[in-house]
Structure 1
Amino acid sequence: MPNALVVAEYEVARSEAVAELDGALREEGFVVRHAEPADLPLRLAPEARPDLLLVSASLGLQRLALVSQRFLADGGAPTIVAFCDGDLAALEECVRGGFDYVLRPFLPSLLRSRVNSCWERWQLSTTVEEMAELASLREYERELSIAREIQAGFLPESMPTLHGWEIGARFRPARQVGGDFYDIFTIVNGRRLAFVVADVCDKGVGAALFMALIRTLLRHTAEHTGLGQMVSDDLAVAVNNGSSNDVVLPLLSLGAGPLIQAVVGTNQYMARNHLKQGYFATMFFGVLDPQSGDLLYINGGHNPPVVLRSDGGQSLLPPTGPAVGILSDSSYTLGHVHLAPGDALFTYTDGVVEARNPDHGLYGMPRLRALLNGPPPHTETLLDSVDGSVRLFAGTAEQSDDITTLALRRTPSPAHTAL
């Protein structure tokens, strides 16, 4: 049998109008209960939720709204009607507030017709609201899909083909769009290979917008740094080779200019123009000489890439400067590493090492280094191995951050392979 709850103050609840309303409801087959506003519990048990809620108009619009919200917020969805107990001005206020109403005389047939009309109107209103929400959701999803397509357009369509090198990358955002990105392209008339792996703080649409901006600034500056802004091939460049002292190398300098200009220029632009938005990026930007295997790089506050040696050894490339976009006067040191035949470089974002399993355990750097132990395999095998390991570790846990990996491997020489 349907349940009706009549809510009114003590005096109204004992009035002739409420008695008449009670009788008409019972005659129409309702199980009727009564309650004063102050006696309503903060939370209602499922069996206490009525099918029809009738509230005295004399409570006023504000109190009527509070009573109705208590039922709606608790998961119930009764038909809510204000009934007139003689105060027509109070009823008019409730009607202006959007509530349905019933008037005396409370005859069973008239009451049934009125309640049915109220219920149908409520159903129609609910359906319209649901349709509007669905349309809004579909529009949001469509816009997100467009944003993802646009973001995908900022990623390389294919990896450059270099004789003697294997190159590969993976990108798996935590949401439809993300703040991670990678890029790889040639500079200095094809004589150097530039590549970037970066992580814009936060994730989602905001991070994706800044990802597009930072990626564009880096690539445009690196590709268009003129010869006058480059360091001469004959000029020694002070770089850090991973030891405590700087060393002087009379090589590599052809790629130093684009590298320095791209990172420093992007940092200055972001810090001066977008500091209030609070977005910054960690990044590893490398410039490789494919002929020699020498690599110049700047690590701007990013997770240390792992250098994998052909004999199974490992080393890390720690930061050489802060994250990009925080301080306009930040300084960056050039790092240097040599990749011999059979060596590889694995770069990644923190979504790899900070992946968590259902028990909130952390994947961590030790697990990654253990996985990478031994002579580096083919690039695709290496990337698949890391991706599979992270997925297996995370299991059913939700991916909490974007995951990006990039690896390059110098093909072993025939003599090395024979060994």
Structure 2
Amino acid sequence: MGTIRRVLLPCLFLLVSALPSAQTPEPLQIILGQAAVPLYGPWKFTVGDSPVDPKTGNPLWAEPAFDDSQWETVDLKPKAGSFDPMAGLSGYVPGWTAKGHKGYWGYAWYRIRVQVNAHPGERLALSGPEGVDDVYQVFANGTLLGSFGSFPGGGRDPIVYNAQPRIFALPAANDADAGTRVLAFRVWMMPVTLREDPDAGGMHSPPLLGDYNAVGARYQLAWLELVRSYGSLPILAALYLLLAVMASSLVLFDPRDVTYRWLAAVFLVMAMADAEQCLTSWTQLVSGTLGLVAHHVIFDPLILGGWAIVWWTWFRLRQPAWMPRAIAALTLLYALSEALGRDLFFTAIPASVGGAFHSATVYIRLLFLMLLVFLAVRGIQQQKSDGWLALPALLLVGIARFQLELAILHVRTHWFPFGMQVSLGMIAHLLLIAVIFILLIRRVLLSVRRQRQLALDVKQAQEVQQVILPEHRIVLHGFEIESEYRPALEVGGDFFQIIPHASDDSLLIVAGDVAGKGLKAGMLVALLVGAIRSTAELDPEPAAILAALNRRLLGRGDARATCLALRIRRDGAVVLANAGHLPPYLNGVPVEIEGSLPLGLVENLESSMLKFQLSPSDRLLLVSDGVPEATDLQGKLFGFDRVLELVRTQPTAEKIADAAQTFGQEDDISVISVTRVTVAERTEQPTLAGIHTEQ
């Protein structure tokens, strides 16, 4: 504040004399100390562009000797209480469209003659107007001082950026000029600005002329005001990004709920939109045209369409089934209408066509507003509390999409508490975030409750599966049987049953692997185990068992299973039937049997059949594909060679299972070892878990 007070304390004397001659207007006389004066005018103004001096290549309208007496006269002094209808900034002066040039875009010129009585050696400077449509070049006595924006020349249109403060050093005046300077601004406005601002065109605030230090202080203050006015945007961008991360983490918590994915996507787009607006407002890394395309053609349609999908999935709506496709089509139509309606392609598309598409965007936004209200009403019908909470927020979000139309009616949609810009759209999104936060907490609590119930269901399924599995080691009718079962998840898809038949002391062993893992596979295992036991009571032959299991799986979608069934008589005679399962190993050698299709593929399954003999001390080993398909951290398979080595060297099923699991378990692992032993006499029939005795 000390610097500003120091530079503003000197007196300003502004003497404006009458214009005695139309040909040679008297200059505006300014006596300067260390101060700066806003150049309110009167300015001379005309639309169009200057012819170029063929000798110097400079525009004639910038020359101090040019006669501008026939030009219009404009005043850049703002009226009390005036504000920018789009950005909400105070001190706003309507542009040329409000002064008889409605619908005009392109070049225009401002000229003013000033006489500056400065102290010897004092440096003077000129600051560009803080509000201007859209870019400009500034001349002093015909010399180009600089520009805001890029003017490539050669008939190409200038490159436009959002208005930013600029300062230009004035060269020292010649003695012959007696301190008189002719300042000229060559302004260019692109046609899209006509759609953006109801009073567009040229300068909306006066340039500042004075001591270099004083103008520099105002220049720095203008930058601080610009940064502060958009200071909420990076905060909001960070908030949206945080919400996107949070929603993404909830996807891991409940992968089945697609709402979290859509929420994460919408918040990410909103973060990108605010970050883009920061770049276009504070830097020249993004041109104004590119910023318009990103904001209005890409981000706005995606955000509106994304919110519609979020609420469609949030309320778990199913009817009408075509609604998601309609939202996608409406989003694409909105983007196309914005691209054409904002005259971004003005060199290729007539203005009348652009106007028609601009009007179409209004109706599309109305459709989106009605769609959001429809979704909220359906949400009230489906989930009363969620719908009532969402309704006011969705209404405000829809209304905020009409900020441009409200600005045309000069309804204020931007405010500056503590110098920071707050818009109607920002308020709408903050309210929506508050609603989303409340609903997310409620939804997460419900998800936790469902997850607990699901965990309980899985635990109960695991307990049931453990009940139907045989003991790890049993001895029946001269056969010693060992088994190991290691599910990849809490509930596995491998199954096996050992069923002795009391009438002839034969032994039925059925082993299989259901496609998939988890609770679904566990439910199929329970179905197949029940089918094995019920079928074995009627017909214990292996072929009959596989045929019955095949019938159980047919017509159940993608339910598939590989299975092996063998019946071993007391004398060691074995009948083996196989349906796509790995063949067993006899004394360390794979049993050669023809391949066959898994269960559940065809109606009349023909399983592979084989008969062979088990002699005393012979060992038969059954393994599931979880053993050879074990994979280490480098992605290397355990493989059949290692399996073959294991069955030849390892004496127990437990050690074989341990070796595969240690290597890197990927699928359920089950190993069954059957060894024929000699018994002196028949012992009492045991009744064990997983053992079913047939009479």
**Band the TM-score falls in, shorter-chain normalisation:** 0.5 to 0.7
Tell me if the contact between 1:25 and 1:108 (Cα under 8 Å) persists in the aligned partners: no
For residues 66 and 259 of structure 1, the distance between their equivalents in structure 2, rounded to whole angstroms, comes to 59
- For the pair 1:393 / 2:595, whether they are aligned, the reply is no
Q: 2:516 aligns with which of 202, 208, 217?
A: 202
Q: 1:108 aligns with which of 417, 423, 429?
A: 417
Letter in 1 for 2:560: F
The DSSP-based 3-state class of the residue aligned with 2:470 is coil
What corresponds to 2:586 in structure 1?
307
1:226-249 deviation digits (Å, cap 9, x = unpaired): xxxxxxxxxxxxxxxxxxxxxxxx
Tell me if the contact between 2:578 and 2:596 (Cα under 8 Å) persists in the aligned partners: yes
1:237-293 deviation digits (Å, cap 9, x = unpaired): xxxxxxxxxxxxxxxxxxxx63333233333x247xx24623232212111224x23
What corresponds to 1:340 in structure 2?
615
Letter in 2 for 1:300: A
Q: How far apart are residue 325 of structure 1 and its match? A: 3.2
Q: How far apart are residue 117 of structure 1 and its match? A: 5.9
For residues 63 and 265 of structure 1, the distance between their equivalents in structure 2, rounded to whole angstroms, comes to 54
Cα 1:10–1:303 change in 2 (3 A) is farther
The runs of 5 or more residues in structure 2 that have no matched partner are 1-86, 88-161, 163-191, 205-223, 238-267, 279-293, 309-361, 376-392, 401-411, 681-695
Which stretch of the first structure deviates more once superposed, 356-365 or 201-210? 201-210
Letter in 2 for 1:296: V
1:21-63 deviation digits (Å, cap 9, x = unpaired): x97993696367999xxxxx98978994999xxx999999855
Letter in 2 for 1:350: D
Cα 1:270–1:23 change in 2 (3 A) is same
What corresponds to 2:130 in structure 1?
none
The DSSP-based 3-state class of the residue aligned with 2:461 is helix
Cα 1:259–1:105 change in 2 (3 A) is closer
For residues 572 and 590 of structure 2, the distance between their equivalents in structure 1, rounded to whole angstroms, comes to 16
Q: In the TM superposition, what are the counterparts of 1:150-229 in structure 2 within 5 Å?
A: 150-156=464-470, 160-162=474-476, 164-189=478-503, 191-225=505-539
Q: In the TM superposition, what are the counterparts of 1:190-269 in structure 2 within 5 Å?
A: 191-225=505-539, 258-267=541-550, 269=551
The DSSP-based 3-state class of the residue aligned with 1:346 is strand
The DSSP-based 3-state class of the residue aligned with 1:352 is coil
Tell me if the contact between 1:296 and 1:334 (Cα under 8 Å) persists in the aligned partners: yes
- For the pair 1:30 / 2:236, whether they are aligned, the reply is no
Letter in 2 for 1:304: P
Q: In the TM superposition, what are the counterparts of 1:399-418 in structure 2 within 5 Å?
A: 399-411=665-677
Q: How far apart are residue 11 of structure 1 and its match? A: 5.9
Tell me if the contact between 1:187 and 1:223 (Cα under 8 Å) persists in the aligned partners: no
Tell me if the contact between 2:473 and 2:480 (Cα under 8 Å) persists in the aligned partners: no
For residues 194 and 448 of structure 2, the distance between their equivalents in structure 1, rounded to whole angstroms, comes to 45
Q: 1:350 aligns with which of 611, 621, 625?
A: 625
What corresponds to 1:282 in structure 2?
562
For residues 298 and 602 of structure 2, the distance between their equivalents in structure 1, rounded to whole angstroms, comes to 59
The DSSP-based 3-state class of the residue aligned with 2:626 is helix
For residues 595 and 369 of structure 2, the distance between their equivalents in structure 1, rounded to whole angstroms, comes to 72
- For the pair 1:384 / 2:384, whether they are aligned, the reply is no
Q: How far apart are residue 412 of structure 1 and its match? A: 7.5
For residues 338 and 372 of structure 1, the distance between their equivalents in structure 2, rounded to whole angstroms, comes to 19
For residues 369 and 598 of structure 2, the distance between their equivalents in structure 1, rounded to whole angstroms, comes to 62
Q: Give the TM-score normalised by structure 2.
A: 0.40
Cα 1:45–1:361 change in 2 (3 A) is farther
Tell me if the contact between 1:188 and 1:223 (Cα under 8 Å) persists in the aligned partners: no
For residues 145 and 181 of structure 1, the distance between their equivalents in structure 2, rounded to whole angstroms, comes to 17
What corresponds to 1:79 in structure 2?
none
Please, what is the CA RMSD of the aligned residues?
4.8
What corresponds to 1:84 in structure 2?
none
Q: In the comparison of the two structures, how many residue pairs are matched?
A: 332
Which stretch of the first structure deviates more once superposed, 148-157 or 292-301? 148-157
Tell me if the contact between 1:293 and 1:340 (Cα under 8 Å) persists in the aligned partners: yes
Cα 1:413–1:95 change in 2 (3 A) is closer
Cα 1:131–1:371 change in 2 (3 A) is same
Q: 2:304 aligns with which of 50, 57, 65?
A: 65
Q: 2:645 aligns with which of 370, 383, 391?
A: 370
1:127-151 deviation digits (Å, cap 9, x = unpaired): 2233233333333333333333333
The DSSP-based 3-state class of the residue aligned with 1:161 is strand
Letter in 2 for 1:299: N
The DSSP-based 3-state class of the residue aligned with 2:634 is coil
The runs of 5 or more residues in structure 1 that have no matched partner are 1-5, 36-40, 70-86, 226-256, 415-419
What corresponds to 2:601 in structure 1?
326
The DSSP-based 3-state class of the residue aligned with 1:386 is helix
What corresponds to 1:293 in structure 2?
572
Q: How far apart are residue 334 of structure 1 and its match? A: 4.0
Tell me if the contact between 1:28 and 1:108 (Cα under 8 Å) persists in the aligned partners: no
Q: Give the TM-score normalised by structure 1.
A: 0.62
Tell me if the contact between 1:173 and 1:180 (Cα under 8 Å) persists in the aligned partners: yes
Letter in 2 for 1:146: Q
